[in-house]
Structure 1
């Protein structure tokens, strides 16, 4: 069964953002909503917890799934993977959880995901983001050690923060950090607004920001690769549809168009 037609993969490649019909897509913590049928619309709710770095990709995929299945209402809560794992451990109902790295999955109570359909569905790498035009003339990781370069990083307990520490250690760089942010989107925002000279984020986030930022590539020998897992937590039809849409070849095309690598 095809979940994401070729036209959607093409639209994603062109950078078209399809938001219509997506439910909750904020980065605020999810509430105990779970899978249910809305009395107002009669639609079946599919609750998805997803890493902030998946914002653009999952909005596109959710939009197409709802077009093909108008009886579904997909509600996505984006945030730091560490926060999402904690929410799940604390009893938040969800049908799907997708995280930014494998370590985040290990923090979920094993009984909650044991025997559930699970797959590594994408990879990501890091890149330095600077304000548009790179006014501080950042040339690479070594530049970040200068006291004149204000750098922001993701909090150390979230995937992009862990990955940043890995590349900085590998490059033997001690950056001048002015703040640690809650997730990758909050980290990128500091650069977009000009409140920081540089940030280490995912290359997919630099790509999605377009002309609002200028990226500085981190060489492969200094970089690191994160692998993203997705878990289907419930056996509802809506959960199956979304899980299969993400892991299908068409879903992979959407992810690839936004800069993600194959798992």
Structure 2
């Protein structure tokens, strides 16, 4: 910076003015030269040692945009001191690359396996239910078969019992009017003389006392055999039939008289 001082002409002579101007001019030149050297030194970048060679593996990774490095503004009044080189921040480790397609395939496979497990469990439940239904149907069929067999046995037993009762009743009924005294009729002499043989059927009623009432000849009977047959039937005696503790008559009792010459 140059500073010039002027004195009034009446107080200062002309001859010593070049000395004052020369000193001021030298000072200004020296200041300008020092400032130029300082600016030249600041404009030159410091020579850094070469970085060692390294193998870099590239990867498609989107890194965050680095923050801008602040540049110090030059100070006009005083030459700034040499600033230390700003350390370069190490990049943050890249996040792992996420393969969306692989994740989607993995999710689809997991869902498929889960669906297969659900379907398998459902099939197992249906199989067990079907087995239970089959067992229940088999049990019901077995019960129905046993019930049919029981009913058949009961029906057969009832039929046999009814037949036994019928036989017993028939036997009892037949015993009730079985003859206890029964005589053979006399062979007519005229039939003997003529060598006549034959049969005669007589129908009658056994009353409550066991006697024969109202005998009648039915069917084909030779006239010679009618009288002796009726007389013989009237002499029959029977055990009376008893119903509910009371003797009753039995109608339409038949007896066949056979006449044969010995």
What TM bracket, shorter-length normalisation?
Answer: under 0.3
Structure in which a larger fraction of residues adopt strand? 1
Q: Which structure has greater helix proportion?
A: 2
With the length of structure 1 as denominator, give the TM-score of the two structures. Answer: 0.16
